[in-house]
A and B are shown apart, each in its own frame.
Chain A
Amino acid sequence: MPNATPMRGVAMRCGCNNARFPIQGGLLQRRGGTVRHDAVAWGYARGADRHGVDIIQNCEVTGFDIEAGEVVGVRTTRGPIRAGKVALSCAGNSSRVASLAGLRLPIESHVLQAFVSEGIKPLLDNVVTFGAGHFYVSQSDKGGLVFGGDLDGYNSYAQRGNLPTIEDVCEGGMALMPNLGRLRLLRHWGGIADMSMDGSPIIDHTPLGRLYLNAGWSYGGFKATPAAGMCFAHLIACDAPHPVATAFRLDRFGRGAVIDEKGVGAQPNLH
């Protein structure tokens, strides 16, 4: 709520008084925040390494060894690996890897752009999001504003987006915080998100025995990583879904049990 004391500063920066669509209210999550994504990835890698996991870099999966409907190993650019169980958890390229096992997934790959401005003095000590256009912005330790918004909206593996989406995202930012208008963009990039057809993830068995699938996290996967990892590990170890992940079934699309939070239907670019 803009009139509550902690939000007043945010609201003042957000042009409440002069905006064409003034901000009438908001939600404040005090314990929300940001983490540095590289540090998170390194932390997980070190943790996995300490637990005895071998992480083999620059090693592309080129096929699956399938015997009598069960996956018994993967073929890679660095040789075959036999396995009692195989977990497919590769984001972005889930459809491509699954196709090596003959599976078609309810997933489209889309490009999501993100942006960093030039460094400026402290302006935001929190994350501000704006439901229209999925806009979000925070400030990095180096002073750059980190922000993003909607998908480009078409199938892509290109890891780069197009200018109309940049304009659209920046318009979302300007609508929320008009004082961003004179900032220059320092850099921007595009990442590939595997968008499921209902916008919700899949943590489940596959039709092939011993092959498990963790996919379709759309653009929400990063913050869900700890929970997704726990649920996926539970599924692989116990051969049964974790109690909190029983709905994230691969067969929900065929059963009509989709988890379509916005109700927009099987259109990944609208989720």
Chain B
Amino acid sequence: MRIPCPCCGERGVEEFAYLGDANVVRPTPDAPAEAWLNYVYLRDNPAGAHDELWYHSAGCHLWLTVTRDTRNHAVLAVRSARDIALARSA
């Protein structure tokens, strides 16, 4: 499996560290316990396209949001997680 890093180009998966589902968003501190349960523990875990966070630890140190097909490991899209977070908070 290789991930095309927008900064470094296509690199082997051994250069990256995996965090997990990129679509869970941290709730506000006063959010109900159920929102925190959803954020910390519950996952869609789809068989198919999955947005997920990867850290290019042996490269440029960018956090990436990679859309990957969990059925065959094909990488469908790669974006900077920072850009997505900024757009989300805007």
Contact = CB atoms under 8 A, between A and B. Distances in A.
Contacts of A109: 45, 47, 70
Interface stretch (A7-15, A61-69, A129-137, A149-157): A149-157
A269 interface: yes
A194 B4 CA distance: 28
6 A-B pairs with the lowest CB-CB distances in the bound complex, closest first: A95-B45, A164-B14, A106-B41, A253-B41, A157-B47, A104-B42
A107 B45 CA distance: 7
A267 B20 contact: yes
A163 B19 CA distance: 19
Contacts of B56: none
Interface of A: 93, 95-96, 99, 104-109, 153-158, 162, 164, 197, 253-254, 266-269
Given A104-B43, A154-B52, A197-B43, 14 more contacts: A95-B45, A99-B44, A109-B45, A154-B18, A155-B20, A155-B50, A157-B71, A158-B70, A158-B72, A158-B73, A162-B73, A164-B12, A254-B41, A266-B40
19 contacts: A93-B47, A95-B43, A95-B44, A105-B45, A107-B45, A108-B20, A108-B43, A109-B47, A154-B68, A155-B45, A157-B71, A158-B71, A162-B73, A164-B13, A197-B43, A254-B34, A266-B40, A266-B41, A269-B20
Nearest to A251: B37
A110 to B, nearest CB: 10
Nearest to A265: B40
A162 B44 contact: no
Interface residues of B, number: 27
A108 B47 CA distance: 11
Contacts of A158: 70-73
Contacts of A153: 18
B31 interface: no
B1 interface: yes
Counting chain A CB atoms within 10 Å of each CB, the highest count among B34, B38, B43 belongs to B43
A109 B13 CA distance: 18
A58 B15 CA distance: 40
A139 B12 CA distance: 32
